[in-house]
Amino acid sequence: MLKLGVNIDHVATVREARYRGQSFGEPDPVAAAIECERAGAHGITVHLREDRRHIQDRDVWKLREVVRTRLNLEMANSPEIVEIALRLKPEIVCIVPERRQEVTTEGGLNVLAAEGEIAETRRRMNQMGIQVSLFVSPDIEQIEAAARVGSQFVELHTGSFANSFSEPEKRDAELNRLITAARRAHALGLLVNAGHGLNYSNLPHLLTVPHLVELNIGHSIISRAVFVGLAAAVREMLALLESYKG
């Protein structure tokens, strides 16, 4: 069964637009997490960014108390965030690249350029019982580096696929890259997740990628929730995943 992790960052984005710097505000991402789980989500994903633009420290600690499925903490490989993760003990962390000027995470992690540092973080996380995923582009060299540093998962960056969706030739080329990358990751013993830019329209095409364990989807679900409610938006996405054959 292909699992769905719901990224609730943009619930916090809406809250911060009005209540930035306050210790309260709405909508509450913790309440959103509970609603997503009740609707059948298999996990909750949040990105505690260094600039705290949406999810705040108080959110992750409250989420650790209430999440009953699996808490996935997206994070930069920075000393401050690493220490928070080791204390928080989510079930899994996903190490991502992070730039202050970007709107959202763009591009995959350059594992090749930082194998030593990433391997050390992976070791420390695993010692605390935390699984490690690396957010990488569908590039064979990066996937092989992810295996060398000992991560349990890779999360394939699907942004290029999503951005080219309206151009069939480019879309199919990106889809083939994802298929090749997933096969290589699986052959190396890595578990394969995917995410970035996935929505209700492009998801059915992505389901031709083999060996997927979980998709992490946020913006599209939160956007859909504006019109149908959060629980319904989650259930609609889950219904699309039912046709996955692996």
Alpha helices in the chain (DSSP H): 9-19, 29-38, 57-66, 79-88, 115-127, 140-148, 159-163, 168-187, 203-206, 219-228, 230-241
Predicted confidence (pLDDT) per residue in 161-172, tens digit: 999 999 999 999
Q: Which sequence positions are flagged as catalytic?
A: 47, 74, 196
Please state which of the ranges 54-63, 96-105, 166-175, 196-205 shows the lowest mean pLDDT: 96-105
> Please, which pLDDT band fits residue 101 given cuts at 50, 70 and 90?
low
> Please, which pLDDT band fits residue 231 given cuts at 50, 70 and 90?
very high
Report the pLDDT value the prediction gives residue 90, as an integer from 0 to 100: 98
Q: Given phi > 0 = left and psi -120 to 50 = alpha, else beta, which region is 208?
A: alpha
Structure tokens at 5: 């992790």
Structure tokens at 168: 């069939």
Report the pLDDT value the prediction gives residue 184, as an integer from 0 to 100: 98
Report the pLDDT value the prediction gives residue 246, as an integer from 0 to 100: 82
| Whole-structure pTM value | 0.95
Structure tokens at 59: 């959110």
**Average pLDDT estimate for 210-217:** 98
> Please, which pLDDT band fits residue 187 given cuts at 50, 70 and 90?
very high
Nearest Cα neighbor of 131 from 103, 155, 110 is 155
Contact assessment for residue 48 and residue 82, using Cβ atoms and an 8 Å cutoff: no
Long-range contacts of 226-235 (CB under 8 A, 24+ apart): 230/32, 230/35, 230/36, 230/39, 231/35, 231/36, 231/38, 231/39, 232/39, 234/4, 234/6, 234/35, 234/36, 234/39, 234/40, 234/41, 235/39, 235/40
Contact assessment for residue 199 and residue 165, using Cβ atoms and an 8 Å cutoff: no
Structure tokens at 212: 């997927």
Contact assessment for residue 45 and residue 216, using Cβ atoms and an 8 Å cutoff: yes
Report the pLDDT value the prediction gives residue 57, as an integer from 0 to 100: 98
Residues in the chain: 246
Please state which of the ranges 71-80, 84-93, 95-104, 160-169 shows the lowest mean pLDDT: 95-104
Report the pLDDT value the prediction gives residue 42, as an integer from 0 to 100: 98
> Is the pLDDT confidence value at 99 over 70?
no
Q: How far is 47 from 104, CA to CA, in rounded Å?
A: 10
> Is the pLDDT confidence value at 244 over 70?
yes
State the CATH architecture for 3-241.
Answer: Alpha-Beta Barrel (3.20)
> Is the pLDDT confidence value at 75 over 60?
yes
Report the pLDDT value the prediction gives residue 100, as an integer from 0 to 100: 55
